[in-house]
């Protein structure tokens, strides 16, 4: 399996998606949103390289987890590695939630195989950049009002964006 460049991981979180979740922070982000809470993740050469097998072992060791969240940084900068990881996470009967600064429509429009393959391995996608002027602390699982929480499988099936709140 591929290696991933990461900014860090959290073994248990209840604020990065539904239920108890393992969280993986990708290193590298091209969006540079003003007011980003993780500017240390911008540099694609920063962070550290991690073996996907090691991450899977850590996830497997916690039977209480309901899912895994890939956050940023920008996970789609490493679409192939994260797609492989998402596939293995699904094999463990856990769901996969991903944060991206890209819009779902733009990801769908790409002809990059790795990006399309990654999308097909995601259950919930929180899309769009963080917009400081639209920041709202009351929002659940997202930072600004422009972002959407998308049911990816239903959206791909029905060929229209299905937003869940």
Q: Which residues bind ligand SF4 (CB under 6 A)?
A: 29, 31-33, 36, 38, 41, 72-74, 101, 129-130
Instruction: Please say which residue, 17 or 129, places its beta carbon nearer to ligand SF4.
Output: 129
Instruction: Please say which residue, 10 or 56, places its beta carbon nearer to ligand SF4.
Output: 10
In the complex, least distance from residue 25 CB atom to ligand SF4, rounded to whole angstroms = 9
When CB distances to ligand SF4 are compared, the closest residue is 101
As a whole number of angstroms, the distance between CA 62 and CA 66 comes to: 10
Q: Which of 131, 113, 129 is nearest to 121 (CA)?
A: 113
Backbone CA torsion sign across 26, 40, 20, 165: negative
In the complex, least distance from residue 128 CB atom to ligand SF4, rounded to whole angstroms = 8
Q: Are 65 and 97 in contact (CB under 8 A)?
A: no
In the complex, least distance from residue 151 CB atom to ligand SF4, rounded to whole angstroms = 21
Instruction: Please say which residue, 1 or 108, places its beta carbon nearer to ligand SF4.
Output: 108
Instruction: Please say which residue, 16 or 88, places its beta carbon nearer to ligand SF4.
Output: 16
Residue 25: strand pairing partners = 8, 71
Instruction: Please say which residue, 65 or 147, places its beta carbon nearer to ligand SF4.
Output: 147
In the complex, least distance from residue 124 CB atom to ligand SF4, rounded to whole angstroms = 16
Residue 22: strand pairing partners = 68
Q: Give the neighbor-by-neighbor strand order of the sheet with 95-99.
A: 48-51, 3-13, 21-26, 67-71, 95-99, 124-127, 148-151
In the complex, least distance from residue 101 CB atom to ligand SF4, rounded to whole angstroms = 3
């Amino acid at each position: 399996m591929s290696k991933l460049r990461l900014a860090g991981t959290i073994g248990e979180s209840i604020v990065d998606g539904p239920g108890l979740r393992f969280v993986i922070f990708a290193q590298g982000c091209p969006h540079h949103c003003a007011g980003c809470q993780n500017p240390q993740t911008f540099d694609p050469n920063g962070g550290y390289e991690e073996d996907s097998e090691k991450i899977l072992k850590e996830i497997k060791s916690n039977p209480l987890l309901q899912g895994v969240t890939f956050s940023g940084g920008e996970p789609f900068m490493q679409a192939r590695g994260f797609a492989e990881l998402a596939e293995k996470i699904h094999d463990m009967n856990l769901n996969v939630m991903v944060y991206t600064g890209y819009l779902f429509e733009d990801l769908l429009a790409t002809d990059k195989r790795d990006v399309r393959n990654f999308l097909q391995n995601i259950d919930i996608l929180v899309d769009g950049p963080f917009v400081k002027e639209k920041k709202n602390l009351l929002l659940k699982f997202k930072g600004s009002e422009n972002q959407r929480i998308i049911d990816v499988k239903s959206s791909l099936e029905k060929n229209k964006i299905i937003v869940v709140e």
